[in-house]
Structure 1
Amino acid sequence: MKIALVGATGNIGRQIARHALANGHQLTVIVRSAQDLPTELAGAHPVIASLDDQDALVAAIAGHDVLASAYGPRPGDDIGRVGEVAAQLADAARKANVPRLVVVGGAGSLEVAPGVQLVDTPTFPEAYKPYALAHREAFNRLQAVDDLDWTFFSPAAEIGPGEERGQYRVQPKAFLADASGHSRISYADYGAAFVAELEARKYPKQIITAAY
C-alpha cells in the first residue's frame, strides 16, 4: 500500500511510520524540512511541502492509496488550526484522487454515554479542553465529508512512552477504559493499531479509539 503521512516527525507520527515501513508499505512523509529526520523514518520517501500550500500538498500525495495524518500543533501554533488542517487534508485528498483519509483524533470526541462526549463531562480537565475542542472541530468537519472514506482515530485518554505490548482493544465511537477506569496506550501500540486500520479499512466514516 502507498501511504502518505503528515506529521511523521512527532511522537505518534514516528510510530505510525515505523509500523508502516515494518509491514512493507511504501511510505511518503510530508515534512517541512528533510534535515535531521528521525531514525524511524529511514526507508521513507520525504517530500517537503507545507500544509498551507495546497498545490504542493496535492502533488505530494497524488498516486497514494491513503493520506494519513498525525498532525498536531507545535508550541506557539494556533490550537484552532486542527479543524482547519482536517478540512485542508480532505480537500487535498479529493483533488489528488486519494480515496482515503485517516487522521489522529482526540479522546474528548468519544462518547461516554449516548450523545455525550468526554469533553462535555464535568470532570474533564480544563487544561486539556482547548485541545479537545479543537479535535472535535476536526471531527465535525470530517463528518461533513461524504466523498472520501475518512476515519477519525482517537488515542486513549492517556498516550505516552511505554513498551509495545502488541495487545490493545479497538472500538468505534465510545470511550474505552480498562477495568480500573484507566484509558491508556503507548505511542508504539497506538502506531500499530493505526497501521492495522490502514490495512483493514474496517471503520470508514467513523470515529474509533484504541486502548489497553
Structure 2
Amino acid sequence: MKIALVGATGNIGRQIARHALARGHQVTALVRSENDLPAELAGARLAIAPLDDAEALAAVIAGHDVLASAYGPRPGDDIGRVANVAEQLVAAARQAGVPRVVVVGGAGSLEVAPGVQLVDTPDFPAAYKPYALAHREALTRLQAIDDLDWTFFSPAAEIGPGEERGQYRVQAKAFLADASGHSRISYGDYGAAFVAELEAHQYPQQIITVAY
C-alpha cells in the first residue's frame, strides 16, 4: 500500500510510519522541512508539502492509496486549525484522486452514552477541552462528506510512551475503558492499530477508537 502520512515526525505519526514500514508499505512522510525526518524512518520517502497549499499537497500525494494524518497543532499554533487541516486534506485528496483519508482524532468525540460525547461530560478536564472541541469540529466536517472514504481514529483518553503490548481493542463510536475505568494506549500500540485499520479498511465513514 502507498501511504502518504502527514505528521510523520510526531509521537503518534512516527509510530504509524514505523509500523507501516515494518509491514512492507511504501510511506511518503509529508514534512515541513527536509531536516524533519527522524533517522529511524529512513525507509520513508520525504516530501515537503505545506498543508495550506492544496495544489502542492495534491501533487505530492497523487498516486497514493490513502492519505493518513497525525497532524496536531504545535505550541503557538491556532488550535482551531485542526478542523481546517482536515478540510484541506480532503480537498487535496479529491484533487489528487486519492480515494481515502484516515486521520488521528480525539477521544472527546467518543460517546459515553447514546448521544453523549466524552467532551460534554461534567468531569472532562478543562485544559483539554479546546483540543477536544477542535477535533469534534473536524469530525463534524468529515461527517458531511459523502464523496470520499474517511475514518476518524481517536486514541484512548490517555496516550503516551509505554510498553508495546501488541494486544488492544478497537471499536466504533463508543468510548473504551478497562475494568478499572482507565482508558489508555501507548504510542506504539496506537500506531499498530492505525496501520491495521489502513490494511483492513473495516470502518469507513466512522469514528473509531483503540484502548487496552
TM-score range, shorter chain: over 0.9
- Is 1:144 matched up with 2:144? yes
**Once the 2 structures are TM-superposed, how far is the Cα of residue 160 of structure 1 from its aligned partner?**
0.1
The code of the aligned residue for 1:23 comes to: R
> Which residue does the alignment assign to 1:100?
100
**Once the 2 structures are TM-superposed, how far is the Cα of residue 132 of structure 1 from its aligned partner?**
0.1
What runs of 5+ residues in structure 2 fail to find an aligned partner? Answer: none
Matches within 5 A, 1:43-122: 43-122=43-122
> Does the Cα contact within 8 Å between 1:15 and 1:188 map onto a contact in 2?
yes
> Does the Cα contact within 8 Å between 1:2 and 1:27 map onto a contact in 2?
yes
Query: What is the alpha-carbon distance in structure 2 between the residues aligned to residue 40 and residue 161 of structure 1?
Result: 17
The code of the aligned residue for 2:162 comes to: G
Percent identity between matched residues is 84
Query: What is the alpha-carbon distance in structure 1 between the residues aligned to residue 192 and residue 142 of structure 2?
Result: 23
**Once the 2 structures are TM-superposed, how far is the Cα of residue 40 of structure 1 from its aligned partner?**
3.0
> Which residue does the alignment assign to 2:191?
191
> Which residue does the alignment assign to 1:177?
177
**Once the 2 structures are TM-superposed, how far is the Cα of residue 37 of structure 1 from its aligned partner?**
1.8
Query: What is the alpha-carbon distance in structure 2 between the residues aligned to residue 40 and residue 105 of structure 1?
Result: 25
> Does the Cα contact within 8 Å between 2:9 and 2:36 map onto a contact in 1?
no
The code of the aligned residue for 1:107 comes to: A
- Is 1:4 matched up with 2:4? yes
**Residue-pair matches, total:** 212
**Once the 2 structures are TM-superposed, how far is the Cα of residue 36 of structure 1 from its aligned partner?**
4.7
Runs of 4+ in structure 1 over 4 Å off: none
The code of the aligned residue for 2:51 comes to: L
**Once the 2 structures are TM-superposed, how far is the Cα of residue 41 of structure 1 from its aligned partner?**
1.6
**Once the 2 structures are TM-superposed, how far is the Cα of residue 39 of structure 1 from its aligned partner?**
2.3
TM-score of the pair, normalised by structure 2 = 0.99
**Once the 2 structures are TM-superposed, how far is the Cα of residue 53 of structure 1 from its aligned partner?**
1.2
- Is 1:160 matched up with 2:165? no
> Does the Cα contact within 8 Å between 1:7 and 1:13 map onto a contact in 2?
yes
CA offsets per residue over residues 20-62 of structure 1, 9 Å max, x none? 0000001101101111521232100000110011111000100
CA offsets per residue over residues 131-163 of structure 1, 9 Å max, x none? 000000000010011111100000000000001
CA offsets per residue over residues 52-79 of structure 1, 9 Å max, x none? 1111100010000000000000000000
Query: What is the alpha-carbon distance in structure 2 between the residues aligned to residue 147 and residue 81 of structure 1?
Result: 23
SS state of the match for residue 194, structure 1?
helix
TM-score of the pair, normalised by structure 1 = 0.99
Query: What is the alpha-carbon distance in structure 1 between the residues aligned to residue 148 and residue 40 of structure 2?
Result: 29
> Does the Cα contact within 8 Å between 2:31 and 2:37 map onto a contact in 1?
no
Query: What is the alpha-carbon distance in structure 2 between the residues aligned to residue 33 and residue 109 of structure 1?
Result: 32
> Does the Cα contact within 8 Å between 1:28 and 1:47 map onto a contact in 2?
yes
- Is 1:130 matched up with 2:130? yes
Query: What is the alpha-carbon distance in structure 1 between the residues aligned to residue 208 and residue 13 of structure 2?
Result: 17
**Once the 2 structures are TM-superposed, how far is the Cα of residue 113 of structure 1 from its aligned partner?**
0.3
> Which residue does the alignment assign to 2:40?
40
> Does the Cα contact within 8 Å between 1:3 and 1:67 map onto a contact in 2?
yes
Query: What is the alpha-carbon distance in structure 2 between the residues aligned to residue 35 and residue 68 of structure 1?
Result: 21
